[in-house]
Amino acid sequence: MASDRVQVLANGLRQSGLRLTHQRLAICRTLVTSNTHPTAVQLHTQLRAEFPTLSLATVYSTLNTLAALGLVYELGNAGDGQKHYDAITAPHANLICTQCHRISDFEDTALKSVSQHVARRSGYQIQGARIAYYGICPACARRRGR
């Protein structure tokens, strides 16, 4: 099922008339496989093993391309000053720990209905949403509690 999502991204690129290079495919794969919402630098570091010559500029450019197509979301604001990316574009919330800066996902049907409500009341043509809750994750709460 993770590979399905890679296909979605790959097809999206091709359908937009863009070339499916090894680099782009690898970036899509890593992004989908990872559950850590990586930054460009993290992706680059991880992919260096497979593509020793891969340029950081290519990673940025690919991420911008994917984000522009709406295939991937640009997060930012995890408190570390870098842009994080999320391969899931279905409506979901991110839980961001203000201690360890880890980002995890949270899905709930309530989020969808609120989104529709907002669209109706605001008059906006909603294209996407970034819902982030900041707080202390259970693990950090324990660590800090004692």
Partner DNA sequence: ATGCATGCAAACTCTTTGCAAACGC
Partner DNA sequence: GCGTTTGCAAAGAGTTTGCATGCAT
Contact partner, 36, from a copy of itself, DNA, none, Cβ < 5-8 Å per class: none
Three-state SS sequence of 52-70:
CCCCHHHHHHHHHHHHHCC
Choices 29-37, 50-58, 95-103, 138-146 (CB under 7 A): range interacting with DNA: 50-58
With binding defined as CB under 7 A, does residue 23 bind DNA?
Answer: yes
Q: Is 96 helix (H, G, I), strand (E, B) or coil?
A: strand
Contact partner, 64, from DNA, a copy of itself, none, Cβ < 5-8 Å per class: DNA
Q: For residues 92 and 58, what is the distance between their CA atoms, to the nearest angstrom?
A: 28
The residues, any chain, with a CB within 8 Å of residue 70's CB and separated by 6 or more, are 89, 127, 128
Choices 17-25, 98-106, 120-128, 129-137 (CB under 7 A): range interacting with DNA: 17-25
With binding defined as CB under 7 A, does residue 101 bind DNA?
Answer: no
**What's the closest the beta carbon of residue 2 comes to DNA, in angstroms?**
21
Q: For residues 96 and 43, what is the distance between their CA atoms, to the nearest angstrom?
A: 19
Residues lying near DNA in the complex (CB under 7 A): 14, 18-24, 39-41, 51, 53-58, 60-62, 64, 80-83
